[in-house]
Each structure stands twice: as C-alpha cells, then as structure tokens.
Chains A and B, each alone.
Chain A
Amino acid sequence: MVRRIASLWSSSIGKKALMSVTGLLLIGFLVLHLVGNLQLFADDGGKSFDAYAAKLKSFGPLLYVAEFGLGALFLAHLALGLRVTFENRAARAQRYALERDRGARSFASATMVVTGVIVLIFLVIHLLDFRLREMAPDGLAAMVVRRLSEPAGALIYVVGVAALGVHLSHAFRSAFQTLGLSGKGWDTPLARLGKAIAIVLGVGFAMFPLVFFSGAKKASHQASLEPARPIHAASDVTTEAIR
C-alpha cells in the first residue's frame, strides 16, 4: 500500500498523474480567480471588488488554509515539472547531430518548462504586488489599477498571462491523456476544450492590464474619488456591513 502510494511520486506515470491533478486543480482556481477579478470592471470605482476582497479576508483562518493548499499544489506541480524535465533531458545524454520532428509536437508542448518558469516568476511578482504588500489606503482595486496602468506593470502582467495561456493550450488535453481519460471519441473535444480554456484564461486575464493601461477604465477609477454618488453610497454600505 505504502509502496503503491510512493509510486505516485516515483514512477514515470505516477509523477505525470500528480502533475495533471495538481495542474487541473490550479486551472480550477484560475477560473474562479478570473470570475472574481471581473468585478474590477464594475462601474463603481472598485467598490464591489474591494468588498469581494474583504469578504475573502473575513474567512480568516479558512483563507490561510486555502492559500496553503494552493501553494502546495503549485509547489508540487513545479517540483514535478522540473524533475520530469531534467530526467527527460538526461534520458538522451548523447544528442542527435540532426533532429527533425514530424510536426506532431506544438510550440506549446515543446516549451512547457519555459512557459512554466515564466508563470512562476510572474507569480512571485504578482504576490509581491498584491498579496505581500501592505494594503493601500484607497483599497485593493485602486492598487491593482495603479499597478496595471504603469507600462512595466502592464507588460509584466501581459507576458505572464500569455505564457500561462500557451502553457495551458497543451496542458489541459495532456492532463486528460496522462490520467487515461482520453481516447476513442474524446480526443478532439478535449483538445478543443483545452484550447478554449487557454484562450479564455489567457485573454481574460490579459484584459485587465490592457484595459487599465490603455486608460479605458481610468475614468471610472477617478470617478470613485468624486464624493457621494448614490451608487457608491450603496456599495459603501455593503462594504461596511461585511466588515
């Protein structure tokens, strides 16, 4: 029994299965994260987004448990991804002088570790930006908008999420193959769904830096600094209520 569980970490298929499960769970988190972030586009000067953030904070210890879980998933995926990559490089010590593929592999499949490491670097910056920094007095939404309006900020976020999109365009269907959940008529639908998820998440997250940097959303953010519009009053009340 113990040996079997250990095989998940040590055997080639076990490692890949763990990578798939951790990767798919991370994709699940990203979908929720994107949906939550959409509130940044609400025309209320960030009130509903800040309320959402406050709501999450209000979960207290539960939030830490969730964050710890996410971190563990990410670190496990990362460690296995690097290990698999190094083992695979090592499996052919003497390389071909001339190597030509047959067009089955894709740009995404050939660059998984590269896009993965870009996502890792991006994630560190992202956490430093919004999670590990002290909350600005004007709220998290304002912090986000400020950061994504800077050229450097916008660039980092666009590159980070683009790498994520490329990673996922191979990852999703690959994960199903690894778990043995493909074959027969499922291959094409899974490949399409994978591409769709990669595009929705990649383009979805890229919208935030693009919109804020281009200034399309500045106006409403500035508007939030104007006093007393009825809608603000309303959302202030909800925010207060949650706190």
Chain B
Amino acid sequence: MSSSHDTHASHAAAPTHEKKHLALTLHVWRQRAATSEGKFVTYKLDDVSPDMSFLEMLDVLNERLIANGEEPIAFDHDCREGICGACSLTINGQPHGFERETTTCQIHMRRFEDGQTIYIEPFRANAFPVVKDLVVDRGAFDRIIAAGGFITARAGSAPDANALPIAGDVAESAMDAAACIGCGACVASCKNASAMLFVSAKVSHLALLPQGQAERSRRVLAMVEQMDKEGFGNCTNESECEAACPKGISVANIARLNREYLRALACGD
C-alpha cells in the first residue's frame, strides 16, 4: 500500500507529506424503494485513503457491506470524470459537496478531515423522486428536453465547419450554457426546488445560435410548460443554483430564459 502512495505523493494537495488514512463517520440515507420510508444509517470507516475519490470511498463501503451480506448503497454514477452529470449526492447539506464547480465524483477524500462526520443524502425535490437510497429519478429533465430542447437540422453529411458565421462572444455564451451536464444540482440546491438554471441553460444554448432560431419561441414555451408540469418550484432569484452548479452556469441565463419566455408570449408564433 505505502509504496503506491509514494508514487502519487507529488499530486497530493494535503499539507503534510505523509498521508494519513482517515477515520470517518457516515450517515447515509437508506431507502429500499420509492414508496418505502427512508432513514439515515450510520457507518464507520477507519482507513479511508486520502487518494480515494468520494465515490471510491462509497465503493469500499459497499464491498464491505456485500462481504457482510448486507444490501450495498445504491448511488448514481457513470463517467466519474465530471462530465456526465450522473453522480447526484448531497454531502453535508450541499449537492456535490462543498467544493465549487466540482462534481461528487471529482471530490477527493483528502479534502475531508480525520474524524469527520459526513451526511450523505439524495437530491430532494418532488420532481426528483427517490428510486432507492441515494438514487433519484431525474426523468423530469429528459421530459423537459423532449418538449423542446432540439433543433431541426438537415440530416446527412456534416456541414462544413464555420459555414455559419457566429459572433465570437455569442458563441462563447452559447458554449458556456452548453456546459450544463444536467446533473440537477441546481434543483437540489434551490430552496424552491426550481429547475430554472437547467432550463435556462438549455434554452440559452439553442436560442443564441442560428441553428436554434426555427423553434425559438415554441421551444421556450414548451420547455417552461413541461418544467411547470413536473412540479418544480418558482425561481426567487437567490442564485444558490449558480453557486452550486459544478459547471458554473450563470444566472444570467435565467434572465435570458425569462426574456425569451416573455418575448415568446408577446410576439412568438
């Protein structure tokens, strides 16, 4: 064990050279199924490597649970490199934990302290019902995308790059909005469980680009209608979503969404 540590020592952000394993107390939300009552169950780990990612720490715990004949903790994950948006946890009351612009899968245990207590809860919103333990159903986001998050494009060979001129700053704004990975942290961090940051990123991304113009009005009307149907709350402009977003999506997109929506109501087709 220790030799493999030494090879990674140069990456370590830990202040001390020698890397101490951590003892942690975890309070993890356990819920058998969508309809069952859930509760916190306490687990103690006493040799967590600071090099592990947060999800690896859960993997280790799960191996132990399986070895003991217990049900492992269900949690969502896929890429584990911060690009898919699958990992959805609330760590000590914050979606994706306390690090700014970092997904749960990108958090390392060296950011925690020896002896620390960690509460791990699923994202909470009526629109994101718990499926099991820490896994929530974010199908509401898919239905919002299906309602209007698309463009009409000619199928066939790919168009030439730069065939369609787009001003640099516009392209930048569209790219910034397109950075949204649809993880749902905005909903989870919003005290109103509002999905405005997500929807605004998707609407902005397409409304800014020439390819998105054909459906510009009907897209925003349909996506907002679906968002409301799903039971998300109303935005009160507190910007907690922006602070919690692992991709740093700005609430300027929400202003744009509001503008697009009101414009579509007033003069859309």
Binding site for B on A (CB under 8 A): 4, 7-8, 10-17, 84, 87-88, 90-106, 109-110, 112, 170, 173-174, 177-184, 187
Contacts and interface: CB of A to CB of B under 8 A. Distances in A.
Given A7-B265, A109-B238, A88 B233 contact: yes
B260 to A, nearest CB: 7
Contacts of A16: 234-235, 258
Given A12-B227, A13-B224, A183-B256, A91 B240 contact: no
Contact of B124 (A8, A96, A181): A96
A112 B236 CA distance: 9
Given A13-B224, A96-B124, A104-B242, A183 B191 contact: no
A183 B235 CA distance: 16
A178 B234 CA distance: 11
Nearest to A173: B237
Given A12-B228, A16-B234, A96-B124, A104 B243 contact: yes
B107 interface: no
Given A13-B258, A87-B233, A98 B93 contact: yes
Interface string B236-256: 111110111000000110111
Given A15-B234, A100-B94, A180-B260, A91 B255 contact: no
Name the residue among B227, B258, B262 with the largest chain A CB count within 10 angstroms: B258
B240 A96 contact: no
A60 to B, nearest CB: 36
Contacts of B130: 94
Contact of B236 (A10, A103, A174): A174
A91 B262 contact: no
Interface string B253-269: 01111111111010000
Contacts of A11: 224-225, 228, 261
Given A12-B233, A101-B243, A102-B189, 8 more contacts: A88-B192, A90-B126, A96-B93, A98-B90, A170-B237, A177-B251, A177-B254, A179-B259
B127 interface: yes
Contacts of A98: 90, 92-93, 119, 121
A12 B235 CA distance: 8
B240 A87 contact: no
Name the residue among A15, A91, A102, A109 with the largest chain B CB count within 10 angstroms: A91
A81 B188 CA distance: 22
Nearest to B129: A94
A73 B154 CA distance: 49
B232 interface: yes
Contact of A105 (B125, B240, B260): B240
Given A94-B124, A178-B258, A182-B252, A88 B93 contact: no
B103 interface: no
Nearest to A175: B237
5 contacts: A7-B221, A87-B233, A91-B125, A91-B192, A180-B262
Contacts of B238: 104-106, 109-110
A177 B227 CA distance: 19
Given A97-B40, A100-B94, A105-B191, A13 B236 contact: no
B72 interface: no
Contacts of B191: 88, 92, 101, 105, 110
A184 B236 CA distance: 20
Nearest to A112: B236
B124 to A, nearest CB: 5
B131 to A, nearest CB: 14
Name the residue among B90, B236, B259, B261 with the largest chain A CB count within 10 angstroms: B236
A13 B257 contact: yes
Contacts of A184: 252
A64 B225 CA distance: 39
B239 A88 contact: no
B197 to A, nearest CB: 12
Given A177-B255, A179-B258, A184-B252, A91 B232 contact: yes
Interface in B111-144: 119, 121, 124-127, 130
A103 B233 CA distance: 20
Contacts of A173: 237
A90 B251 CA distance: 23
B189 to A, nearest CB: 7
